[in-house]
């Protein structure tokens, strides 16, 4: 069942009264990524003037749209959430200072309360707020204000690396041995018939660390391969979903990348979903696992399947040299990026594609969010609309994916799920892959469910039930939660 309204991104950071808030309450559809009233571009009373970046949005579906929760922390401070192994992407980690909090100058030691290397997991170091003047002395090698170039200067103030997502980092010791669940899985697949409900219950409820322990325990305890047993006892998209769960997020990424580039043609959407918008740590883990599993270089396989400027774009992505999320958002650099994008697109005849690719592939999510906000303020045009006008095909899709990762990751994933279900027939491969990829981070899944409800005015679970059936339906519904 296709959703008839086109998926569009309204002007990001629209000034007050130009795009008034919707008259109906939460749940009224809006264009892609349209922020709640007084969120972007229209700061509430007492908020700093233009130049400050929009604060993190409230989690979708947690309170009436636009209403602050009871005992809300100060504007711009993060809302504490229960951790699912680590803070969800794009949300200010618990304990991070609000925008504008001072930080020690470049080269000075960190605050005494946080010894080097001991800051909370995933918490970026304090940084000056967007819109505040940069430190009096620029770090060595930093370009002066207004200097042209499509990339930041080679030397930046030290930024704490963004930690890998759960399942992409080094092995960890956890309080789970997997024995009971391994025996339940063996019993569900042993003998005549298969207990599908047990397979769904056990596999859909595990986090990335637990699923790795469970798979290894099953393989060792029974001298069998869990994935092979699943394949022999199930079929269709139900089988595909169970195998995706059993592999875990990292090995599933490797499996899908290899399949996408094997044989004739390339599944561009799979490459976009897996490779774009990833942290440097996750990208390095994917490249290492791909090399170890396939004995092939991921860069070489991408070069062999893509061509021309799209190939160069993805090689920029695979270089894994994005600015870390703890890197400062410096207004002069944002303004410079905005002008570079304008001069490469609307400001000239033709389009200099690689300038835009370079900026969106190297900037952090926070910097991309500030770029989109500033572009709208300066030129009264939405950056996503500009990209759609100036680009086409795979490169357009890739740039839109990178932009939406920075501006609203939950709404990005809600749109990807709808894309897999819209139109005649369901794109079951994409739907299965995307649901299971999102489900590994339960906090993010709740954000996506709220974003989907807000954008399409129907619960995500109901939409999935209408497009699937049987054990396959039950599996995806269990993953969505």
CA 399 vs CA 125, 384, 391, 431, 461: distances in Å: 28, 9, 9, 21, 29
pLDDT tens-digit readout, 51-87: 445 455 554 544 444 444 444 444 344 444 444 444 4
With cut-offs at 50, 70 and 90, classify the pLDDT of residue 386. Answer: very high
Phi, psi (degrees; rounded to nearest 5) at 42: -130, 75
Which among 248, 311, 307 has a CA at the least distance from the CA of 275?
Answer: 311
Amino acid 156: pLDDT = 56
Whether pLDDT at 15 is above 60: no
How far apart CA 21 and CA 35 sit, in angstroms, is 9
With cut-offs at 50, 70 and 90, classify the pLDDT of residue 113. Answer: very low
How far apart CA 331 and CA 462 sit, in angstroms, is 43
Query: What number is the average pLDDT over the span 179-199?
Result: 95
Amino acid 454: pLDDT = 97
DSSP states along 147-213: ---SS--S-----PPPPPPTTSSS----S---HHHHHHHHHHHSSSS--HHHHHHHHHT--HHHHHH
Whether residue 208 contacts residue 249, with contact meaning beta carbons closer than 8 Å, is answered with yes
How far apart CA 329 and CA 153 sit, in angstroms, is 14
**Higher confidence at residue 380 or residue 42?**
380
Q: Which of 147-161, 285-299, 312-326, 353-367 has the lowest mean pLDDT?
A: 147-161
Query: What number is the average pLDDT over the span 22-50?
Result: 43
Whether residue 326 contacts residue 160, with contact meaning beta carbons closer than 8 Å, is answered with yes
For CA atoms 161, 165, 170, 173, give the dihedral sign.
positive
Half-sphere exposure of 228 (CA within 13 A, CB side): 6
Whether pLDDT at 103 is above 70: no
DSSP states along 255-293: HHHHHHTSSSS--HHHHHHHHTT--HHHHHHHHHHHHHH
Half-sphere exposure of 303 (CA within 13 A, CB side): 9
Q: What is the pTM of this model?
A: 0.70
Hey, how many other C-beta atoms are within 10 angstroms of the C-beta on 373?
26
- Paired tokens of 90: 């794009």
Whether pLDDT at 151 is above 80: no
Whether pLDDT at 35 is above 80: no
Whether residue 80 contacts residue 94, with contact meaning beta carbons closer than 8 Å, is answered with yes
CA angle 121, 398, 93 (to 5 degrees): 15
- Paired tokens of 449: 């469910």
With cut-offs at 50, 70 and 90, classify the pLDDT of residue 13. Answer: very low
Contacts of 6 (CB under 8 A, 6+ apart): none
Query: What number is the average pLDDT over the span 175-198?
Result: 95
Share of the chain above pLDDT 90, in %: 62
- Paired tokens of 59: 């989690």
Class of residue 417 by CB neighbours under 10 A (exposed 0-12, middle 13-18, buried 19+): buried
- Paired tokens of 443: 């906090």
pLDDT tens-digit readout, 309-347: 999 999 999 999 999 999 999 999 999 999 999 999 998
Query: What number is the average pLDDT over the span 444-468?
Result: 97
Q: Is 50 helix (H, G, I), strand (E, B) or coil?
A: strand
- Paired tokens of 63: 């309170």
CA 323 vs CA 283, 312, 330, 360, 364: distances in Å: 13, 19, 12, 10, 5
Whether pLDDT at 445 is above 90: yes
Hey, how many other C-beta atoms are within 10 angstroms of the C-beta on 148?
9
Whether residue 198 contacts residue 475, with contact meaning beta carbons closer than 8 Å, is answered with no
Share of the chain above pLDDT 70, in %: 67
Amino acid 152: pLDDT = 47
With cut-offs at 50, 70 and 90, classify the pLDDT of residue 157. Answer: low
Which among 169, 234, 257, 207 has a CA at the least distance from the CA of 83?
Answer: 207
Phi, psi (degrees; rounded to nearest 5) at 50: -50, 145
Residues in the chain: 481
Which among 412, 470, 408 has a CA at the least distance from the CA of 437?
Answer: 412
Hey, how many other C-beta atoms are within 10 angstroms of the C-beta on 410?
29
> Number of helices (H) and strands (E), helices first, in the chain?
20, 0
With cut-offs at 50, 70 and 90, classify the pLDDT of residue 350. Answer: confident
Q: Is 336 helix (H, G, I), strand (E, B) or coil?
A: helix
Hey, how many other C-beta atoms are within 10 angstroms of the C-beta on 406?
21
Which among 162, 415, 436, 372 has a CA at the least distance from the CA of 283?
Answer: 162
For CA atoms 361, 367, 373, 376, give the dihedral sign.
negative
Whether pLDDT at 37 is above 70: no
With cut-offs at 50, 70 and 90, classify the pLDDT of residue 265. Answer: low
Contacts of 308 (CB under 8 A, 6+ apart): none
Q: Which residue has the tokens 């930690």?
A: 163
Phi, psi (degrees; rounded to nearest 5) at 52: -75, 145
Amino acid 158: pLDDT = 73
């Amino acid at each position: 069942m296709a959703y008839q309204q086109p998926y569009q991104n309204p002007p990001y950071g629209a000034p007050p009264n130009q795009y008034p808030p919707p008259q109906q309450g939460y749940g009224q559809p809006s264009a892609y990524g349209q922020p709640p009233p007084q969120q972007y571009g229209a700061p509430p009373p007492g908020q700093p003037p233009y130049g400050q970046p929009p604060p993190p949005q409230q989690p979708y579906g947690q309170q009436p749209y636009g209403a602050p929760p009871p005992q809300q922390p100060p504007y711009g401070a993060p809302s504490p959430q229960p951790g699912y192994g680590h803070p969800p992407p794009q949300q200010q980690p618990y304990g991070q200072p609000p925008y504008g909090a001072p930080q020690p100058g470049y080269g000075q030691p960190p605050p005494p309360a946080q010894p080097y290397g001991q800051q909370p997991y995933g918490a970026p170091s304090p940084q000056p707020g967007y819109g505040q003047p940069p430190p009096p002395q620029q770090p060595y090698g930093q370009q002066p204000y207004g200097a042209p170039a499509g990339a930041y200067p080679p030397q930046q103030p030290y930024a704490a690396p963004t930690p890998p997502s759960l399942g992409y980092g080094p092995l960890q010791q956890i309080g789970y041995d997997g024995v009971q669940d391994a025996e339940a899985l063996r019993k569900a697949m042993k003998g005549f018939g298969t207990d599908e409900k047990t397979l769904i219950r056990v596999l859909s409820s595990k986090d990335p660390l637990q699923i790795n322990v469970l798979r290894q325990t099953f393989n060792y305890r029974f001298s069998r391969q869990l994935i092979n047993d699943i394949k022999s006892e199930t079929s269709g998209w139900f089988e595909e979903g169970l195998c995706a769960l059993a592999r875990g997020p990292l090995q599933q990424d490797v499996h899908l990348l290899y399949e996408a580039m094997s044989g004739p043609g390339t599944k561009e959407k799979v490459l976009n979903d897996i490779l774009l918008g990833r942290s440097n740590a996750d990208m390095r883990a994917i490249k290492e696992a791909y090399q170890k599993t396939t004995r092939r270089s991921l860069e070489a396989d991408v070069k062999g399947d893509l061509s021309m400027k799209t190939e160069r774009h993805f090689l920029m992505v695979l270089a894994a040299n994005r600015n870390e999320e703890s890197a400062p958002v410096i207004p002069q650099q944002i303004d410079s990026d905005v002008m570079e994008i304008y001069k490469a697109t609307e400001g000239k005849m033709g389009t200099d594609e690689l300038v835009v690719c370079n900026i969106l592939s190297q900037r952090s999510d926070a910097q991309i969010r500030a770029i989109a906000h500033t572009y709208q303020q300066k030129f009264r045009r939405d950056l996503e609309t500009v990209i759609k006008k100036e680009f086409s095909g795979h490169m357009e899709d890739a740039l839109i994916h990178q932009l939406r990762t920075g501006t609203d990751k939950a709404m990005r994933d809600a749109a990807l799920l709808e894309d897999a279900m819209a139109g005649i027939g369901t794109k079951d491969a994409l739907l299965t892959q995307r649901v299971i990829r999102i489900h590994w981070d339960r906090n993010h899944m709740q954000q996506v469910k709220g974003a989907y409800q807000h954008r399409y005015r129907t619960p995500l679970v109901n939409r999935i039930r209408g497009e699937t059936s049987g054990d396959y339906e039950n599996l995806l519904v269990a993953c969505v939660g």
